[in-house]
Structure 1
Amino acid sequence: MAELEYLSEHLNALLASLSDAEKRKFAMTIARKIRASQSQRITRQQNPDGSNYVPRKNLRGRKGKIKQKMFMKLKTARFMKIEKITNGVSIGFDQRVSKLARIHQDGLVDNLKYNGRTFKVRYAKRILLGFTDAEIEMIENEVLQHFDHL
């Protein structure tokens, strides 16, 4: 574990040597790659730990499987936004869909309206945004490659 801590400290020192403009540009490059990776993981219907999402329940009582995968529109760049913040970048969902994303991310209860009636429904926890081990490794490799070219 000490080797990983040393690597993290070393990468932070290298990043500190960049100008503010270089940091912003580099952060946006990494953020775009992470967003693409998150989108691919959502397409595979997997949590960051590699486990599959809990399947949807068929609430309307129809027979057969639900064929459409969850979050197919939500994973697009239109809704999954990269925002520049003072210390780097943030990846999150558009304000219109952030409530839906948070309900699934945390496994919360929401009101569902159907046929004029309101039901309270507890959604299963499906982690939409979160780092996988491969993404952490990708970030470290990107940092090392960036400084290798300087």
Structure 2
Amino acid sequence: MAELHEVEEWLGALLSQLEPAMRTKMLREVARDVRRIQQNNITLQRSPDGTAWEPRRVTARTKPGRIRRKMFAKLKTAKYLKAQANANVAEVAFVPSVQKLVRVHHYGLRDRINRRGTEVKYAERPLLGFNNQAVDLIRKKILEYLAK
């Protein structure tokens, strides 16, 4: 943990040498690229660590071929998954209107299907997170901007 703190201090010192406009531009690109990685993970229906999500439950009402699209197909769009940045922070997050839904599925919590419906325990399906690909991408972008 101490090593991470040292790296953070070193990186902070290097980034402080960049002008605020350049930092904003760099962090905007990082956020956009990280969002693409997250969208790809959602498309492939896998966790950030690469493990596959638990498939949907099969019930008496659901028949093969009835579900026409994959889970969270709309959530991965730019309308719901936003990438934002300023001179100090890059952020990839879901819009507030869908955060409850995302939290329930991400952590595998209990929720009601509708207002008067039964409470259901959902499988844990991590939607956002870092993996080696995202960390490498961030490292490359930072080094690219520091080399300029």
Runs of 4+ in structure 1 deviating by more than 6 angstroms, as ranges, are 1-6
Could you say which structure has the higher strand fraction?
1
| CA deviation after TM superposition for structure 1 residue 138, in Å | 0.9
Aligned to 1:48: 48
- Rounded to whole Å, the distance in 1 between the matches of 2:46 and 2:111 is 22
Q: Where do residues 25-40 of structure 1 align in structure 2 (5 Å cutoff)? A: 25-40=25-40
Q: Where do residues 1-150 of structure 1 align in structure 2 (5 Å cutoff)? A: 9-59=9-59, 61-64=61-64, 66-84=67-85, 87-113=88-114, 118-148=117-147, 150=148
Superposition RMSD on alpha carbons, in Å?
2.5
Provide Cα deviations, 1:3-30, integer angstroms capped at 9, x if missing partner. 9877655433221211222211111110
| CA deviation after TM superposition for structure 1 residue 63, in Å | 2.8
Q: 1:111 to 1:11 in 2, by over 3 A?
A: same
Structure with larger RCO (C-alpha < 8 A, sep 6+): 2
- Is contact 1:82–1:92 with CA below 8 Å preserved after alignment? yes
Provide Cα deviations, 1:63-122, integer angstroms capped at 9, x if missing partner. 325452111110011110123467312211112211111111111100113xx9511001
**Number of aligned pairs?**
147
| TM-score for the superposition, normalised by structure 1 | 0.85
| TM-score for the superposition, normalised by structure 2 | 0.86
